[in-house]
Structure formats: structure tokens, C-alpha cells
Amino acid sequence: MASRRAPGFALSLGITLAVTGAMIVVPLLALIRSASAISFDDFINLTMSPRALASYRLSFGAAAVAAVVNALFGLVTAWVLVRYRFPGRALVDALVDLPFALPTAVAGLALCALYAKTGPLGAPLARAGLDVAFTPIGVVVALTFIGLPFVVRTLQPVLEQLDVGVEEAAALLGASRRQIFARVVLPALLPAWLTGFTLALARGIGEYGSVVFIAGNMPLSTEVTPLLIVTRLEQYDVAGATALALVMLAASFALLLAGNLLQRWGARRLGIA
């Protein structure tokens, strides 16, 4: 029986494993090795201190809220880009990818200038009693900005592959628009939608550059975990930084693994794999 593998499989697999090991696995193993030098009691004390717990609540909580917002508006954005043709569509499509290309520090500075109490949006919001910059709300805004492309770009290919004829057939059979979306469109989109949500959540948990300028960075209040890690390093507290980094590594890996499992589940449902 002839082999189904393409020529050069062994060489390409070897290069892939070598690059993956050198660029990803080895640094992670080094982090785990460094954390193994910390006793269990010290690890618990470092990762469960009041300051660390407060940073977890802000990082994970703000990332979850931003991911939910992105899941809703990302679906709308992807739907509009796929189903409608309008002037400026190409520009809107390009703007979706802007958070990917824009340095996160630049994004943070722009958002801070926009939502500060003297900014174009921050000033009227402040007069209405809502402060955005230097509050947890500012963190959510920053994480929403950097997470939107993950949902949109995950949903777009699935929307493009959906057969509009199935929706038309459902309409001819008397289904309302709400029923068509709930029973025809949503089941096909759900795996990709959940994957985009997971990717946006994982990205938000580890975000630093766009958050540090707008968060306020007050311990126990507006300090995210990545900033706390950097602060520990600046204080030469390598053990504390390593312990916190290991917690973030475990959380991010679990989320990315869940995202990959969702993609496989979605592929099986759609008959791709």
C-alpha cells in the first residue's frame, strides 16, 4: 500500500519539532525548573498572597468580561463583513486586524488619551459619573480592543462556508428569522464562536502593554498579574515572579488546550475531520 505522506515528511517533521522545542518547549521547561526550586509552602505563600489574589481577580475577571463583549460584537462584525457589501467594507475589514499589528504600548497610550478625564470620550463620561481610565473599567476596555480580532477572524471562515440555501429553505418552511438563527446558523457557528471566545480570553489574561497605561496600577485595586510579575522582577524577587508566571502559564495553557479541543469538535461536527 502506497504511503499517503507527502515527500519530505521526516525532514519537515524534524525541523518542526526542533523549532518548536527550541522556541517554545525549552523556555517553558526552564521556567518550570526555576519554579521547582521553590518549596511548596513558599509557592503557596507567593501565589496566594492578598496582592496576588487581587491581581488574579482583575486579570481573569476583566479578561472574561472583555471576552464576552468581544463574543457578542465580534459575531455582529463578522456577520456584517461576510453577509453585506457596502462602501468602506475593505477598510473596516482591515481595521479589525489593527490590534494585531499595532504595538500594544501604542494602543495603551491611545486608549489612555481617549478615556482620560480630559480626553474626547473620557471627559463626557466623567461628567456623567463614569471614570474609565485608571479603573478596572479601563482594563476591560483595553482587553476588548486587543481581543476583538480573535473572535472576528475565527467566525469569518465559518460564516463564508455556510450554505445560504439552507436558511432560505428554512424560511420557505415558515421559520422566523429568530428560529433560523437559533436552529440553523448558531449550531454551525457555536464551535468557532467558543474558540474565538477562548482565544480572546487567553489573550486578555496575559496582556500587559495595552493595560499598563490605562489601568492605574494600584496594588490590590487596579494591578494586573503580568504587571505584578514585572514588579517582582524589578525588585529582584525572581522566586515570586517565577511562581506567578507559572500560575499564568498553567491558566493560559489550559485555555489554549480547550480552544484546540473545541476546534477539533467543530471540525468533526462539520464533517471536516
Residue written as cell 494600584?
218
What is the helix, strand, coil percentage profile of the chain, to 5?
75, 0, 25
Mean pLDDT of 112-140: 88
Q: Is the pLDDT of residue 4 over 70?
A: no
- Per-residue cell: 207: 496582556
Domains of the chain, by residue range, sit at 8-37, 40-269
Q: Over the stretch 159-189, which tens digit does the pLDDT of each residue have?
A: 888 877 777 787 777 777 888 787 888 888 8
CATH number belonging to domain 40-269: 1.10.3720.10
pLDDT of residue 60: 93
The packing angle between helices 50-83 and 89-96, to 10°, is 160
Q: Is the pLDDT of residue 273 over 60?
A: no
DSSP 6: P
pTM: 0.84
Contacts of 38 (CB under 8 A, 6+ apart): 46, 239, 242, 243
Q: Over the stretch 49-102, which tens digit does the pLDDT of each residue have?
A: 999 999 999 999 999 999 999 999 999 999 999 988 889 888 998 899 888 888
Mean pLDDT of 128-156: 91
Give the pLDDT band of residue 143 (cuts 50, 70, 90): very high
Give the pLDDT band of residue 2 (cuts 50, 70, 90): very low
Question: DSSP readout, 85-150?
Answer: --TTHHHHHHHHTHHHHS-HHHHHHHHHHHHSTTSTTHHHHHHTT---TTSHHHHHHHHHHHHHHH
